[in-house]
Amino acid sequence: MKKIKVTVWNEFRHERSDKTVKEIYPEGIHNTVKDILAECDDVEVTTATLDMPDQGLPDEVLNNTDVLIWWGHMAHGEVKDELVNKIKERVYRHGMGFFALHSGHHSKPFRAIVGATGDLTWGVEQQQIVWNIMPQHPIAKGIPERFGLFEEMYGEPFRIPQPDELIFASWFKNGNIFRTGCTFYRGVGKVFYFQPGHEICRSFYNPNVRTVIKNAVHWLYTELPDNVKDLSCPQQKVPVTELMEAEKEF
């Protein structure tokens, strides 16, 4: 069976510096997400963190990743621009899926890939209702009409390009609304942004959030046909008119 190779990247700073976060995610958010995906027989998961050599993503790891999941918050600026460019190239030219969780909206890779600041309105943790507004989408498979969370408030305006698909939208107790689950197509790759996952909230233990993560990994995986694996700028050596003449024989 072909396995989807997923790398879960996490700063892994809050869990080592904040007692509350460490109590909620004692092995780190990356290992919590890894445990979610371990429930899928067709997924092979690797974890990476910011303070590892090559910031966790040397070429041999990045070039062998089908879907990259990204959680970052307090150290966005430490991610090297060279690595960001490599991640963007993997999405645009090689079809790697990119999955930004929660404060990944401000990460360098997400901003570079979608082409936006990712700015938004935010506030204190509170009751959230996530509405499934595109239930026919593969990422929404098995998700009810709505489900509740206790989360950090993210609100509009969300400074992103118009999503190609808006799958989930949320209402917060203070009255804010937010585009919670958005997809973007970039080059031959796909991107999914999903808002839940604040470090002092327990969203990664919620069964609906866990289902969304598993569904999203499968949707983000792209197996490219041979004719689109080289996306440089090739010279067209045979004029189109000659190709048209050749087709007359059929």
The pLDDT assigned to 50 comes to 98
pLDDT of residue 241: 73
pLDDT the model gives residue 65:
98
Nearest C-alpha neighbor of 71 from the set 56, 81, 54: 56
Please give the sequence-ordered ranges of beta strands (E in DSSP) within 11-64, or none if there are none: 43-49
pLDDT tens across the length of the chain (250 residues)? 789 999 999 999 999 999 999 999 999 999 999 999 999 999 999 999 999 999 999 999 999 999 999 999 999 999 999 999 999 999 999 999 999 999 999 999 999 999 999 999 999 999 999 999 999 999 999 999 999 999 999 999 999 999 999 999 999 999 999 999 999 999 999 999 999 999 999 999 999 999 999 999 999 998 887 777 666 676 777 777 776 666 665 5
Burial (CB count <10 Å: 0-12, 13-18, 19+), residue 92: middle
pTM for the whole thing?
0.94
User: The tokens of 249 are what?
Assistant: 């024989």
Local structure of 90: helix, strand or coil: helix
Please tell me the predicted confidence (pLDDT) of residue 80.
98
Question: Which pairing describes strands 165-172 and 177-186: parallel, antiparallel, or unpaired?
Answer: antiparallel
Q: Which of 74, 70, 61 shows the shortest CA–CA distance to 191?
A: 70
Coil, strand or helix at 64 = coil
pLDDT of residue 148: 98
Name the CATH superfamily housing domain 4-117+179-247: Class I glutamine amidotransferase (GATase) domain (3.40.50.880)
> Are 219 and 190 within 8 A, CB to CB?
yes
Whether the CB-CB separation of 7 and 69 falls below 8 Å is answered with yes
- The pLDDT value recorded for residue 220 is 98
